[in-house]
A and B are shown apart, each in its own frame.
Chain A
Amino acid sequence: MAAELHVELVAADRSVWSGEATLVVARTTSGDIGVMPGHQPLLGVLESGPVTIRTSDGDTVVAAVHGGFISFADNKLSLLAEIAELSDEIDVQRAERAFERAKSEADASAERRADVRLRSVAAR
């Protein structure tokens, strides 16, 4: 059995996902970063973007994360985000509507949020 790391994905008001994983890919401000078991202790700032978690039983969990932090130490990885949603929870039609609306209103942050949601669903 491959080595595992424990992942906690928490939003400000709830715990979104937790479990064992073999690989976590997230986007920090300086680029995408992949964390595997035994990585050196790391603390980084996350960009809005999809986070991909390869669980130990081979599944892939994708979550849309809007800003936040990644911290890894002692084989425990924490992803902190003000808002985090699993791709299964995202309502695609609503996100698409929000994307169109944000585009027409030139609301950059709303557009980015909707875009991240859609990309997370696409990566599923």
Chain B
Amino acid sequence: MAERVFITGIGMISAIGNNVEENFRSLRAQQSGLGFTRYIDTIHKNILPVGEVKLSTDELGALAGKPGSPEFTRTTLLGLLAIQEALQSAGIADPREMPAAFINASTVGGMCDTEKVYFDILDPQQEGTFLQYIDTLDCADCTQRIADETGLREYVTTISTACSSSANALMYGARLIQQGLVQRAVCGGTEALTRFTINGFNSLKNTDKQFCRPFDQQRNGLNLGEGAAYLVLESESLVNSRKARVMAELTGWCNTNEAFHPTAPSPEGDGAFEAMRKALAMSGKTTADVQYVNVHGTATLNNDASEGKALERLFGAKVPKFSSTKPFTGHTLAAAGAIEAIYSVLAINRQMIFPNLNFSEKMEELGITPETKLLEEYPVRNVISNSFGFGGNNASLVFSRYEG
């Protein structure tokens, strides 16, 4: 029998707050973090809304205890702030106390900063301190700097499966624990807004000039966001021996591939359906046990149609409350899975369901609509969190209330 995997710490930063409590307050106040960028130099800056963290990179550096450190990119600093909170919330004073894994997720690494100096790097005439940070270009740089700052080093790696990256990081960490390779894994992802990504999604014509409207008939694309989130996963035996506080249990997970199209989901949501179905089966729960689904809900035409169909196929006439929290944070790509994992844990711990903002008109191809109101004192025991990405990568996670 594989060990149970518990969540003992959470930490995050997003457009709606610099820590978990600030995020929770914004969710409860139904206050979106979407707006125009203050920090990205792009022609789209007053056209495409984004979910930007409300601190400059210098301010992030100061907050993370790394002032004046240009080698710490925005991606790294967001991650560092989130992991510091996660470790603290788990009551871990010294992460070096035992062999632990750090499984990070990123889609473009330090592109946020390297894209500013990329053409200087290519120019032999240009010299300067930026040369020392050339390696921040890849996805491993942020992971290693965070690992070095925290002392997590038994397993250190980075996953990149587009928008499902950090859901896969959580899954991987949980499996390392179940296989007995570590007792503790800190998992999640970090993503900073970049001109590269904004132009990438804009070239695909799936960014909305208005605030995104998940599961709405008039939805017209996503808004990008940035942020970072990490969850501390621990084995049951470690939790028992150190008497750790358990926030929730990660009871099920599944990663599937749609094998349908490089950037679009299948119309019937085959991949989403399978990911949710198998994750739920692994958790030992039935569809009737699920009170809330934190959907991927990017508000692109394809995603919401396909994910909605998958929900109807899995739950039939009894689709539980569901909402996309992307109108709060924007789509934070590699960080999304972990940010929404924490929202799922909050839904369980605070007995609350967060609203799907900006919804007004039911999609004609679906019989279901998302929850648009904040529901308090709602008995949430099991939550499914979905993350679906390019390349057909689908991931679903099941979080359950800790029952001892």
| Bound pair (A, B) | no
Q: Which residues of B contact A (CB under 8 A)?
A: none
